[in-house]
């Protein structure tokens, strides 16, 4: 009987490991997709700005007016939105670690140091 329970426990552990590996791979693919999409949007924005600068008389007023066009700002908004979505997991993790440190100071040798490390991670 103990052999059977050991085999069942090992099978459950293998299944859990396989599931965690799949989740990590999926997160990696999603992050890579977001990074590539952001790079593509930024690259297209740079090309559009360069084309407008080279196909006309350059003066300061025209440059400022061009940057205020809605399509350039919309592209910037898309890039900012994607980047904020990418870092939301890190922010949530830092806040959770800060909360854990405050709620369980007895588990740390220096709870203030643990708190401020999470605090630094939040802002870096």
Please tell me what DSSP assigns to residue 124.
-
The pLDDT of 85-104, averaged and rounded, is 88
Contacts for 44 with CB less than 8 Å, ≥ 6 apart:
75
Residue 3: band (very low, low, confident or very high) from pLDDT cuts 50, 70, 90: low
Phi, psi for residue 80 in degrees, rounded to 5 = -65, -40
Residue 63: band (very low, low, confident or very high) from pLDDT cuts 50, 70, 90: low
Count of other CB atoms within 10 angstroms of residue 101: 20
pLDDT tens for 24-57 read 788 778 777 877 887 887 788 778 777 766 766 5
Q: Sketch the domain layout of the chain as residue ranges.
A: 2-123
Contacts for 90 with CB less than 8 Å, ≥ 6 apart:
121
Contacts for 101 with CB less than 8 Å, ≥ 6 apart:
108, 111, 114, 115, 118
Contacts for 78 with CB less than 8 Å, ≥ 6 apart:
41
Residue 15: band (very low, low, confident or very high) from pLDDT cuts 50, 70, 90: confident
Run of H or E including 106 = none
pLDDT tens for 18-31 read 888 877 788 778 77
């Amino acid at each position: 009987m103990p052999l059977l329970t050991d085999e069942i426990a090992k099978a459950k552990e293998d299944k859990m490991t396989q599931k965690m590996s799949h989740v990590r791979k999926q997160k990696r693919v999603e992050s890579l997709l977001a990074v590539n999409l952001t790079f593509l949007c930024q690259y297209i924005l740079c090309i559009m700005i360069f084309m407008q600068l080279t196909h006309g008389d350059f003066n300061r007023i025209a440059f400022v007016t061009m940057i205020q066009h809605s399509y350039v700002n919309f592209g910037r908004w898309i890039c900012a939105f994607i980047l904020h979505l990418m870092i939301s997991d890190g922010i949530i993790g830092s806040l959770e670690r800060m909360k854990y440190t405050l709620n369980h100071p007895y588990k740390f040798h220096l709870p203030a140091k643990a708190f401020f490390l999470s605090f630094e991670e939040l802002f870096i």
